[in-house]
Amino acid sequence: MIEISHVNKWYTPSFQVLTDCTTSVTKGEVVVVCGPSGSGKSTLIKCVNALEPFQSGDILVDGTKVNDPKTNLPKLRSRVGMVFQHFELFPHLKIIDNLCLAQEKVLGRPRDKAQTKGMQLLERVGLKEQAQKFPAQLSGGQQQRVAIARALAMDPIVMLFDEPTSALDPEMVSEVLDVMVDLAREGMTMMVVTHEMGFARKVANRVIFMDRGEIVEDASKDDFFGKPRSDRAQKFLSKILSH
Amino acid sequence: MARSRGGHVNYNWNWGIFFQPNPMGTGTYLDMLLSGLALTLKTAALAWVIALITGSIVGVMRTLPSKGANWFGFAYVEFFRNMPLLVQLFLWFFVLPELLPKGAGTWLKQLPNAPFWTAAIGVGFFMSARVAVQLQAGIGSLPRGQKMAATALGLTTVQTYRYVLLPMAFRIILPPLTSEFLNTIKNTAVAITIGLLELTGQARSMQEFSFQVFEAFTAATLLYLLVNAVVVTAMRFLERWVAIPGYITGK
């Protein structure tokens, strides 16, 4: 579903953020990307739907080359759902309109169909009653669940999560993770940048560990948590799992 | 003239002057001032429409990733905001017709209501540079993730601005836009220099015909204050009308 091969990215000629990153996500797979801050994991996931450009290498999503100038990027992006750290709901639109905007303007769905779809998804994330409210009237956890519903409304073939729980109060983390776990169990293809190792243990098929722009470890979940091969991954794990 | 040396000592106050006929035979002096007010409002309204439309386009250009658009926006703003308004009006009114090919220049000079069009367009462009800067700041104040989220959903750049960035940016800059609207109204007074008989112009002719300088300009001042009070009140209503529940815009 996602093929990342030999991707290199520089912010300036002397500052390389991604170094020869190669990995893939197959259909129905849940891949967790972890690593210390500044290791390039958010940058890598943003390269997948071309929110960030990169200088060399290739990324294919469902067979379409992301870095081909001829690729219709809006069309490609409409099939790739993305959830951000800071939710990024559109504050001037009601919750239901947040879910309908791209359905109508990008997919060309008629308003009533978009609304039906939107209400179904709000029900699924447990927020049907909030449909007529505005984002600022919801808690962080609720906003993030709306953001997930908004991405799902586009019927994505794959979902990208960029630290979806990092900006949340601790008591709101689980309500968001619950939605993600359900999604994973239903067979959604997911690439998730997160520090939530509990989530990784529960539903991940594979774990990718990044450090200083490189993919240091790319292993099945059991291998990663059981016996990480690299020193750096071992140290990282021992630090974040020690409490 | 009443305002000359010692004039105020013997000044004859005459508040009844407004109801006396003016020498042009167009009614009373009050009618004269009101026709000036109407012209001020017409000029300001057209200027504000021009300022909002071109200012918005230029303001957006300054936030686009394209270098060319950026450069154009920068040059436009610096050109129109760094030259005094008075000089700009003179340029459009006196210099531009001379620079054009002869036929076009003559056509321009003989245009009916040339002072009105020059004033509206001149003030409009002058104010558009200021609108552009406000809008650029408004867009810049939005979280970077808003544009990313819209892009990630598949919206094109135009759709992203139309449905996501601009609705928020305009809400944020509504208070400074109110000031710019008031400035637009006040700036139309500069058009007196190219012969537009707007409110200030009519107050001055009233003074010249009747020698009642204080009455004339008191009335003009009150009319300006009244218009601006109406604008401020209307904009307050607009701000409340478009306010987003739960969202705090005040900084």
Indicate the average pLDDT of chain A: 93
Q: pLDDT tens digits for chain B (251 residues)?
A: 445 555 456 788 989 889 999 888 889 999 999 999 999 999 999 999 999 999 999 999 999 999 999 999 999 999 999 999 999 999 999 999 889 898 888 888 888 889 999 999 999 999 999 999 999 999 999 999 999 999 999 999 999 999 999 999 999 999 999 999 999 999 999 999 999 999 999 999 999 998 999 999 999 999 999 999 999 999 999 999 999 988 875 43
Over residues B103-162, the pLDDT tens digits come to 888 888 888 889 999 999 999 999 999 999 999 999 999 999 999 999 999 999 999 999
> Which pLDDT score is estimated for B249?
56
Instruction: Identify the closest residue of chain A to B167 by CA–CA distance.
Output: A92
Q: Is B243 on the interface with A (CB under 8 A)?
A: no
Q: Is A146 on the interface with B (CB under 8 A)?
A: no
> Which pLDDT score is estimated for A60?
94
Q: Is A27 on the interface with B (CB under 8 A)?
A: no
Residue of higher predicted confidence among B24 and A153: A153
Length of chain A: 243
How far apart CA A75 and CA A67 sit, in angstroms, is 14
Q: Per the CB < 8 Å rule, is B245 touching A92?
A: no
At residue B244's C-alpha, the angle toward residues B239 and B247, to 5°, is 110
Q: Is A9 on the interface with B (CB under 8 A)?
A: no
Taking a C-beta distance cutoff of 8 angstroms, is the pair A196, A190 a contact? Answer: no
Q: Is A25 on the interface with B (CB under 8 A)?
A: no
Which percentage of chain B shows pLDDT scores above 90? 78
Ordered strands of the A206-211 beta sheet = A80-83, A158-162, A190-193, A30-34, A206-211, A214-220
Over residues B44-53, the pLDDT tens digits come to 999 999 999 9
At residue B6's C-alpha, the angle toward residues B3 and B9, to 5°, is 95
pTM for the predicted model, two decimal places: 0.89
> Which pLDDT score is estimated for B3?
52
Q: Is the pLDDT of residue A107 over 70?
A: yes
Phi first, then psi, for residue A40 (nearest 5°) are 100, 5
What is the nearest CA distance from A121 to chain B, expressed in angstroms? 16
Ordered strands of the A15-25 beta sheet = A15-25, A2-12, A56-61, A64-65
Q: How confident is the model at residue A160 (pLDDT cuts 50, 70, 90)?
A: very high
Average pLDDT over residues A77-84: 96
Q: Is B249 on the interface with A (CB under 8 A)?
A: no
Asked whether this complex has an ipTM greater than 0.90, the answer is yes
> Which pLDDT score is estimated for B2?
47
Taking a C-beta distance cutoff of 8 angstroms, is the pair A86, A42 a contact? Answer: no
> Which pLDDT score is estimated for A237?
86
Q: Tokens 């794959």 identify what position? A: A158
Residues 149-208 of A with CB under 8 A from B: 150-151, 154
Q: Is B141 on the interface with A (CB under 8 A)?
A: no
Instruction: Identify the closest residue of chain B to A105 by CA–CA distance.
Output: B155
Q: Per the CB < 8 Å rule, is B154 touching A74?
A: yes
> Which pLDDT score is estimated for B110?
85
Average pLDDT over residues A158-182: 93
Q: Is the pLDDT of residue A66 over 50?
A: yes
Taking a C-beta distance cutoff of 8 angstroms, is the pair B239, B248 a contact? Answer: no
Give SS3 for A43: helix
User: Hey, how many other C-beta atoms are within 10 angstroms of the C-beta on A151?
Assistant: 24
- Full 3-state SS string of chain B: CCCCCCHHHHCCCCHHHHHCECCCCCCEHHHHHHHHHHHHHHHHHHHHHHHHHHHHHHHHHCCCCCHHHHHHHHHHHHHHHCCCHHHHHHHHHHHHHHHCCHHHHHHHHCCCCHHHHHHHHHHHHHHHHHHHHHHHHHHHCCCHHHHHHHHHCCCCHHHHHHHHHHHHHHHHCHHHHHHHHHHHHHHHHHHHHHCCCCHHHHHHHHHHHHCCHHHHHHHHHHHHHHHHHHHHHHHHHHHHHHCCCCCCCCC
